[in-house]
Chain A
Amino acid sequence: DQQVKQNSPSLSVQEGRISILNCDYTNSMFDYFLWYKKYPAEGPTFLISISSIKDKNEDGRFTVFLNKSAKHLSLHIVPSQPGDSAVYFCAASAGGTSYGKLTFGQGTILTVHP
């Protein structure tokens, strides 16, 4: 039972354009969502997060949108740069003592072409 799904295994965009990565979840107990970026042979690194009390969070070129009614979140990268090429994972956690327990999606490989 995949509680967090990233249905696009890969995405290819041109440098300077917008990259939109999508994520769906099924567990209504999730109330905190994160995006991680991963390069080969490295650990995941945190990008941006959003609490369920918000519908948008912005940090520089990265914006995360949350649609709770649709159980859907998306990561927008504007403008995309070749250095953004990596695997992107969305992750979710429930509250209380479960914040440290992350449920991950399968990941989306983003390729940004110069």
Chain B
Amino acid sequence: NAGVTQTPKFQVLKTGQSMTLQCAQDMNHEYMSWYRQDPGMGLRLIHYSVGAGITDQGEVPNGYNVSRSTTEDFPLRLLSAAPSQTSVYFCASSYQGPGEAFFGQGTRLTVV
């Protein structure tokens, strides 16, 4: 009964480094998405996917890449980390159509 699993939970990066945040879901959901949460700004959509092989940009996509080769996995890549990407990142999944999205526990990323 894992739901949405994110790894790692915490990460410190130096400016310019790259890394991949992992997200996996075991509910066979079509939709997967990445959000970032910053103080006073709620959660903002970075990228989303409506199925394997299909991705699109959200509200704040710059500096991030995604791909979806399987239904279960939706990794988020930071190409060259910047201090402005210091944030808490949440992955979510849901069925197509109206309904709740299930969120992972989050990854707290600090870029120094």
A interface with B by C-beta (< 8 Å): 4, 6, 9, 32, 34, 36, 41-46, 49, 51, 89, 91, 93, 95, 97, 99-107
Instruction: Give chain B residues whose Cβ lies under 8 Å from the Cβ of A36.
Output: 103
B interface with A by C-beta (< 8 Å): 4, 30-33, 35, 40-45, 48, 50, 58-59, 90, 92, 94, 96-106
Measured between alpha carbons, how far is A4 from B45 in the docked complex, in Å? 13
**Contact at A51–B106, with CB atoms within 8 Å?**
no
User: For residue A107, which residue of chain B has the nearest CB?
Assistant: B42
- The residue that B96 contacts in the complex, of A6, A32, A100, A104, with Cβ under 8 A, is A100
User: For residue A106, which residue of chain B has the nearest CB?
Assistant: B42
Given contacts A46-B102, A100-B48, 10 further A-B contacts (CB under 8 A): A6-B42, A32-B98, A43-B104, A49-B99, A100-B32, A100-B96, A101-B48, A102-B45, A104-B42, A106-B42
Instruction: Give chain A residues whose Cβ lies under 8 Å from the Cβ of B50.
Output: 97, 100
Instruction: Give chain B residues whose Cβ lies under 8 Å from the Cβ of A100.
Output: 30-33, 48, 50, 92, 94, 96, 101
Q: What are 30 contact pairs spanning A and B, CB under 8 A?
A: A4-B42, A34-B101, A36-B103, A42-B105, A43-B4, A43-B90, A43-B103, A43-B106, A44-B90, A44-B103, A45-B103, A46-B100, A46-B102, A49-B98, A49-B100, A51-B98, A89-B43, A93-B98, A99-B94, A100-B48, A100-B101, A101-B48, A102-B35, A102-B45, A102-B92, A103-B45, A104-B35, A104-B42, A106-B40, A107-B42
- Pick the most buried of A34, A36, A100, A102: most chain B CB atoms within 10 A of its CB: A100
Measured between alpha carbons, how far is A65 from B1 in the docked complex, in Å? 32
Measured between alpha carbons, how far is A101 from B4 in the docked complex, in Å? 17
**Contact at B31–A99, with CB atoms within 8 Å?**
yes
Measured between alpha carbons, how far is A95 from B97 in the docked complex, in Å? 8
